[in-house]
Amino acid sequence: MAAMKTALAAMCVLTLIAVAFLSVSLIVLRPPRANYPVWFTLAAFCAIQGGLTLVALSAGALSTALRVGVLAGGAVLAALGVWMVRGTLTSAHFEGYALVLGSMLVVQGALTLGGFFRWRDFRTA
């Protein structure tokens, strides 16, 4: 479990760095086909989720609300990652950054779900 949380923390940091780098490059380079509202909405969500996950990892005892929020965010990240990868692989215009970032989001979402999900919280008495 400790190795999974270490991997999750590393993946959160890498994803935050990638999102920051790509956001700055989008602002500086101004590609003609960029969808700025969608990108910055996704970037903000990824940054907030990554930060929230890092806070949850560093906290000793988690509140139920924080754990559920991190789990829900992890599931959304994984879904966004799958959407990005699928969109890249089926598009006529290949975007390498979308493939790499989408894959990173899938891994981060899976590690988040694996690291914070507890079956005992969903059992009925």
Q: What is the pTM of this model?
A: 0.89
Q: State yes or no: pLDDT of 120 exceeds 80.
A: no
The answer to the question of residue 125 being in a domain is no
What is the rounded end-to-end Cα distance, in angstroms, of the chain?
26
Structural domain of 38: 2-119
Q: State yes or no: pLDDT of 125 exceeds 60.
A: no
Q: How many domains does the chain have?
A: 1
Q: State yes or no: pLDDT of 113 exceeds 90.
A: yes
Q: State yes or no: pLDDT of 123 exceeds 80.
A: no
Reading the block at residue 29, the tokens are 């380079």
Question: Torsions phi, psi of 41, nearest 5?
Answer: -65, -45
The answer to the question of residue 124 being in a domain is no
Question: Tell me: the pLDDT tens digits for 64-77?
Answer: 888 889 999 999 99
Average model confidence (pLDDT) for the chain?
91
Burial pattern 90-112, b for ≥16 Cβ within 10 A else e, equals eeeeeeeebeebbebbbbbbbbb
Question: Tell me: the pLDDT tens digits for 14-24?
Answer: 999 999 999 99
Q: What is the pLDDT of residue 65?
A: 87
15 in the Ramachandran plot: left (φ > 0), alpha (ψ -120 to 50) or beta?
A: alpha
